[in-house]
Homo-oligomer: A and B are copies of this chain.
């Protein structure tokens, strides 16, 4: 195996992966378990592929302590595909529950559906896109923005409205189909500190694409958690879902959806079809699942999510402490209470200093520091694969830069 030169990559995703994982993946790509065939060549229905699928599922369940009554789905299409899949499947589930309660009376169900709403919390670009897509597919009137961070932060992202302030659908006025939020927004660097407190019985859906496996999560609080793999778990091309089984078991059929005026999901976005086929309704990219499995194995061997959480906290705190130390130079974008541990976004005051910072980083092998193209600035992505040594190298550079800029 060739070695790779020592650099540190702080890009927001696709993100860097542990070298040991890539070495194992590369070897397996060529010759998996000495079968003479690479992992990407084996049939997705072979016993070998099945082992990969089972092991990865089990590791994920172990890491997140997924309780009974939840299923894991592997899908293609990224988080953006889930922006559509969520309203398709969750509205269908809600409608089927109502249909059953109303003894299959379509008109009564329709009447209740008319006042039913998906609740969206907007905290950045990703939750906003998810909300826009839900409105497209089920209609604006069926989506309620229950909180918008821009409203409490002078028209800009960078804060998370407290759950107590959310304008939830009230009893008597209608019903909540699900409550959606994005646990970590990569572009402006805000992150929920934990599971928001919502009334019992809410179907909470969270996009954890950019912070999954970086801390413990009480899965039992959720109806659905999903995550694109390419930040904390693996490579682009795979999305991981943890879904409560009642959603899979209780779904309208196509005729019911049509009668109720709800949109039919394309078959590849129909969650029950995917679970009924063990995520193999079509050809699943097993190589990508394999990489995720290797990353999870490593996490389990190094202390699981408790250790990851402690490490992420330590790494992020070091960086934020330094940014705060030079607060006249570095302006952290989000408010202090909601600063993301995963994406540390800040501006550098002073003409041309941001470009200089990025360039200086590149010269030292510290790459991927540019902010998202839509907002500019600096962004340090501090995902699981970033080591404490890499952060130390980075903070040394930040300090050096700050001293020279403020000298």
Contact = CB atoms under 8 A, between A and B. Distances in A.
Interface of A: 1-7, 9, 11-17, 19, 22-23, 25-27, 29-31, 34-38, 40-45, 76-81, 83-85, 88, 133, 136-137, 228, 230, 235-238, 254, 263-269, 281-288, 291, 365, 367-368, 373
A288 B237 contact: yes
12 contacts: A7-B35, A7-B36, A14-B43, A14-B283, A14-B286, A23-B30, A41-B235, A80-B268, A83-B266, A237-B237, A237-B287, A263-B264
A1 B4 contact: no
Contact of A79 (B31, B36, B45, B282): B282
Contact of A11 (B43, B265, B368): B43
Contacts of A26: 26-27, 29-30
A29 B25 contact: yes
A238 B222 CA distance: 31
Contact of A4 (B14, B31, B133): B31
Contacts of A1: 1, 30
A228 B283 contact: yes
Nearest to A87: B266
A264 B137 contact: yes
Nearest to A78: B282
Contacts of A41: 9, 11, 14-17, 235
Q: How many copies does the complex hold?
A: 2
Nearest to A133: B267
Q: Nearest 9 pairs between A and B by C-beta?
A: A84-B266, A237-B285, A7-B36, A26-B26, A80-B282, A4-B31, A76-B76, A40-B235, A5-B36
Contact of A14 (B40, B80, B85, B228): B40
Contacts of A30: 1-2, 4, 19, 22-23, 26
Contact of A285 (B27, B38, B288, B368): B288
B29 A42 contact: no
A330 to B, nearest CB: 23
Nearest to A25: B29
A9 B41 CA distance: 9
Given A14-B40, A29-B29, A136-B254, 18 more contacts: A2-B30, A3-B31, A7-B37, A11-B41, A11-B43, A15-B41, A16-B37, A23-B30, A26-B29, A37-B367, A40-B291, A77-B282, A85-B266, A88-B266, A236-B283, A263-B263, A263-B264, A265-B266
B264 A266 contact: no
A376 to B, nearest CB: 14
B133 A266 contact: yes
Contact of A37 (B9, B38, B238, B263): B9
Contacts of A25: 29
A285 B367 contact: no
A38 B23 CA distance: 10
A38 B30 CA distance: 16
Contact of A36 (B6, B38, B42, B81): B6
Contacts of A36: 4-7, 9, 365, 367
Given A5-B31, A37-B9, A281-B80, A267 B17 contact: no
A256 to B, nearest CB: 13
Contacts of A83: 266-267
Contacts of A84: 266-268
Given A29-B25, A40-B236, A235-B285, A34 B5 contact: yes
A200 B77 CA distance: 35
